[in-house]
């Protein structure tokens, strides 16, 4: 249920997770169009002829592929997520983001079975967008007036996450609709202290961004108008810029390349993690269902472009 091409040990790793067919899909006779030849590969069925001539089956390769039967624990163990957390504890800045169409399992993967930049921890301010500014002093981008919470224990962190998730749904009738049109970032700063000689402590601060991206289907189709259309265009752009930054970063190992962080708010915020010596993990989430085949192919292409294996 898990196959890998190579251990997820590079700075940028791309894994794919395929969710199971849902009860509803099974009931409506939808079937799976993805197969798993092994070695981190995903094979998507061809589309039979028709006026547009159909499509041949397509084969893609990634660091690791998680088949529908893989559990949350499997993803934690084998996606490289553990290494990402270890590196953050050592003081590196890391990012894990989930990409995919609405309903493909992004939130499930990041937060687990049902159990967040408007500022979700400061709902008083929550209805107005926060500014992303450049700090000369810190030489990095930051969110102005963002609420932060000190956590001593793991439970404190979970409480913060839960509050953020609750606030995310406030004022919205349909949470899935909201989450499909917004990026959610949980940014965890980790300070660790290690005793050193002479009774002093060496303190290190690392960071992990957990990013639940807006539904990628917005990049193409939207029947919406007005504000929603504007939102869709922003999402469209930020996902495109993110993909472009990641693939430029992969290329920049071979030759110096300009990375266009400044082209979207999202990439400004992730710039220090993406550019640093930390690890970036992209989890591309897909549905196996035939009815989603074109979105699935889009996601697999986006993920393959992010890192050519
Ligand atoms: P997204 O955040 O990409 O819109 P969700 O994470 O909300 O998608 O997943 C859509 C539905 O599929 C949810 O009901 C979720 O519980 C279910 N689901 C997603 N991934 C899995 C999985 N790996 N195993 C079981 N159910 C899943
Ligand atoms: Mg979601």
The preferred substitution site among 1, 18, 19 for testing ligand 1, maximizing ligand atoms within 8 Å of CB, is 19
Pairing between β-strand 64-66 and β-strand 12-18 as defined by DSSP bridges = parallel
Please state the pTM of the whole predicted model. Answer: 0.86
Cα 106 to ligand 1 centroid, rounded to whole Å: 7
Of ligand 1's listed atoms, the one at least distance from the Cα of 98 is: 3
- Report every protein residue that has its C-beta within 5 angstroms of ion ligand 2: 106-107, 179
Cα 218 to ligand 2 centroid, rounded to whole Å: 13
Confidence of residue 8 (pLDDT cuts 50, 70, 90): low
Q: Is 206 in the pocket of ligand 1 (CB under 6 A)?
A: no
Phi and psi dihedrals of 25, rounded to 5? -65, -45
Greater confidence (40 vs 165) lies with 40
The bound ligand whose nearest atom lies closest to the alpha carbon of 103 is 1
Cα 252 to ligand 1 centroid, rounded to whole Å: 34
Cα 184 to Cα 64, 117, 298, distances in angstroms: 24, 6, 21
Q: Is 19 in the pocket of ligand 1 (CB under 6 A)?
A: yes
Cα 216 to ligand 2 centroid, rounded to whole Å: 11
User: Which of 26-40, 109-123, 176-190 has the lowest average pLDDT?
Assistant: 109-123
Q: How many Å apart are CA 104 and CA 18, to the nearest integer? A: 8
Q: How many Å apart are CA 118 and CA 265, to the nearest integer? A: 12
ipTM exceeding 0.90, yes/no:
yes
Helix (H) or strand (E) holding 85: helix 81-89
Q: How many Å apart are CA 253 and CA 37, to the nearest integer? A: 29
User: Which of 8-12, 89-93, 114-118 has the lowest average pLDDT?
Assistant: 114-118
CB 164 within 8 A of CB 116: yes
Q: Average pLDDT in the 45-54 region?
A: 78
pLDDT value of position 116: 37
The preferred substitution site among 17, 69, 104, 105 for testing ligand 1, maximizing ligand atoms within 8 Å of CB, is 105
**Residue 133 burial by Cβ neighbours in a 10 Å radius (0-12, 13-18, 19+):** exposed
Cα 184 to ligand 2 centroid, rounded to whole Å: 9
User: Which of 6-15, 105-114, 188-197 has the lowest average pLDDT?
Assistant: 6-15
Q: How many Å apart are CA 309 and CA 307, to the nearest integer? A: 6
Q: Is the dihedral of CA 156, 159, 161, 163 positive or negative?
A: negative
pLDDT at 21 over 90: yes
């Amino acid at each position: 249920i898990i196959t890998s091409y190579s251990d997820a040990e590079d700075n940028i790793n791309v894994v794919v997770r395929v969710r199971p067919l849902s009860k509803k899909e099974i009931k409506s006779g939808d079937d799976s169009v993805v197969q798993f030849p092994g070695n981190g590969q995903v094979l998507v069925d061809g589309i039979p002829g028709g006026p547009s001539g159909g499509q041949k089956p397509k084969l893609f390769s990634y660091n690791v592929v998680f088949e529908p039967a893989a559990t949350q624990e499997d993803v934690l163990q084998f996606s490289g997520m553990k290494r990402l957390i270890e590196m953050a504890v050592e003081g590196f800045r890391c990012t894990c983001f989930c990409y995919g169409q609405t309903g493909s399992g992004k939130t499930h993967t990041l937060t687990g079975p049902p159990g967040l930049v408007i500022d979700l921890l400061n709902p008083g301010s929550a209805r107005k967008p926060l500014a992303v500014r450049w700090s000369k002093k810190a030489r990095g981008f930051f969110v102005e007036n963002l609420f932060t919470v000190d956590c001593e224990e793991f439970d404190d962190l979970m409480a913060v996450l839960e509050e953020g998730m609750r606030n995310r749904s406030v004022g919205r009738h349909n949470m899935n609709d909201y989450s499909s049109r917004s990026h959610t970032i949980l940014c965890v700063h980790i300070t660790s202290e290690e005793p050193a000689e002479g009774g002093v402590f060496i303190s290190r601060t690392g960071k992990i961004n957990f990013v639940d991206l807006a539904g990628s289907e917005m990049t193409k189709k939207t029947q919406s108008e007005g504000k929603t259309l504007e939102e869709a265009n922003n999402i469209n752009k930020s996902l495109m810029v993110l993909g472009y930054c990641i693939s430029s970063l992969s290329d920049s190992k071979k030759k110096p390349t300009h990375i266009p962080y400044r082209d979207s708010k999202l990439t400004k915020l992730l710039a220090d993690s993406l550019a640093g010596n930390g690890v970036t993990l992209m989890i591309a989430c897909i549905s196996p269902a035939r009815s989603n085949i074109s979105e699935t192919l889009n996601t697999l292409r986006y993920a393959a472009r992010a890192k050519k294996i």
